[in-house]
Amino acid sequence: MKSEKGFSLIEVAIAIALLGIIATAYLGALATGSKAISIADERATAESLARTEMEYVRQQEYSGAPWAYELPPDTPPDPPSWWDPGDPHTLPEGYDGYTVSVSAVPLHIIDGQLTDDGLQEITVVVKHLDKPDAIVTLENYRSLR
């Protein structure tokens, strides 16, 4: 019987344990990678939405600051003069679950007061409904031309 070769129970148990450890590490790495891809996709979507909204504001007629609005809007709280209530600006398709807050403030302080002398700081903040913190905040400037 010495000519018969095989694996002992201990060798098989060690091999199965090693395979289990390797499989657990591999599946953990896959889960982490999947979550990272999901977060990166969400941030890229939010950044795209923020840039789209910033370009929308910059293409509109200059309106004295301060002003602000939020999308999706129930009613714009303090609509700028260019805001057309008959044809409200809405989120583009594909951005369900996101909110956008846009505000403009004068850039200069004259005699202790914020004074709109033709230069504004525009801030766009994008959030996801599932997350209370902002995903993307984009700031830019706009001038009266």
pLDDT tens by residue, 3-37: 667 788 999 999 999 999 999 999 999 999 999 99
C-alpha 74/C-alpha 76 separation (Å) is: 7
Q: Containing domain of residue 123, as a range?
A: 9-143
Tens digits of residue pLDDT in 38-92: 889 989 999 999 999 999 888 888 887 788 888 886 555 566 766 666 666 788 8
4 lies in a domain?
no
How much is the pTM?
Answer: 0.73
Angstrom CA distances, 12 to 26, 30, 53, 110, stand at: 21, 27, 61, 81
Q: How many domains is the chain partitioned into structurally?
A: 1
35 lies in a domain?
yes
> Regarding predicted confidence, which is higher, 77 or 114?
114
135 lies in a domain?
yes
66 lies in a domain?
yes
45 lies in a domain?
yes
Task: Supply 116's token pair.
Answer: 């709109």
CA-wise closest residue to 52 among 138, 130, 141: 138
pLDDT value at residue 107: 82
19 lies in a domain?
yes
123 lies in a domain?
yes
1 lies in a domain?
no
